[in-house]
Amino acid sequence: MESTREKRGNIFQRIFSFYYDGFKNMTVGKKLWAIIIIKLAIFFLILKLIFFPNFLNSNFSTDEERSDYVLEQLTTQE
């Protein structure tokens, strides 16, 4: 005879099966999730390009110059 713990499975299997069954049975929700994921990808791509440019690669030509700059910025006190 199986115990109740064996019938239920572990917590991760139950959580996975809950979400898997929910997404499998969705109709409109799948399209909405696709739109959300596409919007997030575009949003983070734009953020990366505009607000987080690659400062070290554009201002220094060698790894040694980059590391010296970072070390200087981390160790100087103002």
Give the mean model confidence (pLDDT) for residues 7-13.
79
Q: How much of the chain is in helix, strand and coil states, percent to nearest 5?
A: 80, 0, 20
Kindly report, residue by residue over 18-74, the tens digit of the pLDDT: 888 888 888 888 888 899 999 999 999 988 888 887 888 888 999 999 999 999 999
> pLDDT tier at 7 (50, 70, 90 boundaries)?
low
Check residue 46 and report its DSSP letter.
Answer: H
